[in-house]
C-alpha cells in the first residue's frame, strides 16, 4: 500500500527565514509526486509534479526536489502570503489513477 | 475560467436523510474523483470515474454512491447519512489524455455535518 508521511506537522517561520518541508513516501513504482498548496476553506491548488530522482522544479520562492525515498519543498525568504498547508501526494504505476496524500504541513509565516 | 464547481459549500443534515452533493467541471476532463478530508487522516479517495458510465471504489466507499451519466458531472450521493460521514468533501478532475501526469484540479469543498 502506498504511504506518504509529511513532516513537520506545523512550522512557524519569521518572514525571510528559509526552511524545508519533508515528504517521505513508499510506493510500488513511482509514476509521479505532486505538491499542492491548500488555503483555509479552499481546495488544494497544484504546485509541482516531479517524476524521477534528481528532478527539481521551481516557482517563485518555492523549489521542490525528489530523491528515491523523499521529496523536499524548500521555501526561500518566505512572505506572509506563503502561509498555507502544503500537501504532498504520490501516484503509482499500479492502480486506478489514485493520488495518495500525506496529511500536510501547516506553514505560518510571521511578519 | 477552468474550474471544478461543487454545491453546496455547506450542508447540515440529520441522520438518514438522503442528500446529493453536485460536482461539475468545464475542462472536458475524463477523470473525476471524490475525496474526503478529515483532521489527522488527510485526503482519502471515496470513488472515482475514468469516463462516462465508468466508476469504481476508492479507499473509503462505504455509505456513498456516485454516478457519471455525463462527462462534466459527477454527483456524490449519501442515501442514509450517518454522523461519521461528517467531513469536508472535495471533488477533483484531471485529463487522462494530456500526456505526462495531468494534475488534479479540485473544487472548493463541501463541508457536511450530519447530526
Taking phi first (over 0 means left), then psi (-120 to 50 degrees means alpha), and beta for anything else, what does residue B102 get? beta
What confidence tens digit (pLDDT) does each residue in B15-27 have? 999 999 999 999 9
Q: How far apart are CA B13 and CA B19, in angstroms?
A: 8
Q: How far apart are CA A102 and CA B44, in angstroms?
A: 10
Q: A41, B109: Cβ pair inside 8 Å?
A: yes
What confidence tens digit (pLDDT) does each residue in B65-102 have? 999 999 999 999 999 999 999 999 999 999 876 666 67
Q: How far apart are CA A24 and CA B76, in angstroms?
A: 32
Position A28 scores a pLDDT of 86
- Chain A interface residues (partner B, CB cutoff 8 A): 4, 31-32, 34, 41-46, 49, 51, 87, 89, 91, 96-99, 101-104
What confidence tens digit (pLDDT) does each residue in A19-62 have? 999 999 999 889 899 999 999 989 999 999 999 999 999 999 99
- A12 and A110 Cβ atoms separated by less than 8 Å: yes
Dihedral sign (CA B99, A102, A48, B92):
positive
**Minimal CA separation from A43 to chain B, in Å:** 4
Position A5 scores a pLDDT of 97
- Chain B interface residues (partner A, CB cutoff 8 A): 4, 31, 33, 35, 40-45, 48, 50, 56, 58-59, 90, 92, 94, 96, 100-101, 103-109
Amino acid at each position: 500500500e502506498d504511504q506518504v508521511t509529511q513532516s513537520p506537522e506545523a512550522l512557524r517561520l519569521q518572514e525571510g527565514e528559509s526552511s524545508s518541508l519533508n515528504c517521505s513516501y513508499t510506493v510500488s513504482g513511482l509514476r509521479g509526486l505532486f505538491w499542492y498548496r491548500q488555503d483555509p476553506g479552499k481546495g488544494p491548488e497544484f504546485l509541482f509534479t516531479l517524476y524521477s530522482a534528481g528532478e527539481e522544479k521551481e516557482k517563485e520562492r518555492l523549489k521542490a526536489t525528489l530523491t528515491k525515498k523523499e521529496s523536499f519543498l524548500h521555501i526561500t525568504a518566505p512572505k506572509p502570503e506563503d502561509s498555507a498547508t502544503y500537501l504532498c501526494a504520490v501516484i503509482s504505476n499500479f492502480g486506478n489513477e489514485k493520488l495518495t496524500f500525506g496529511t500536510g504541513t501547516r506553514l505560518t509565516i510571521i511578519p | 475560467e477552468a474550474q471544478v464547481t461543487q454545491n453546496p459549500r455547506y450542508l447540515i443534515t440529520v441522520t438518514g436523510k438522503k442528500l446529493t452533493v453536485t460536482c461539475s467541471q468545464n475542462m472536458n476532463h475524463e477523470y473525476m474523483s471524490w475525496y474526503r478530508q478529515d483532521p489527522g487522516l488527510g485526503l482519502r479517495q471515496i470513488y472515482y470515474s475514468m469516463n462516462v458510465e465508468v466508476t469504481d471504489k476508492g479507499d473509503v466507499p462505504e455509505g456513498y454512491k456516485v454516478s457519471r451519466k455525463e462527462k462534466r458531472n459527477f454527483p456524490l450521493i449519501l442515501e442514509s447519512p450517518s454522523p461519521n460521514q461528517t467531513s469536508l468533501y472535495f471533488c477533483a478532475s484531471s485529463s487522462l489524455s494530456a500526456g505526462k501526469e495531468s494534475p488534479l484540479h479540485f473544487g472548493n469543498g463541501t463541508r457536511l455535518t450530519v447530526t
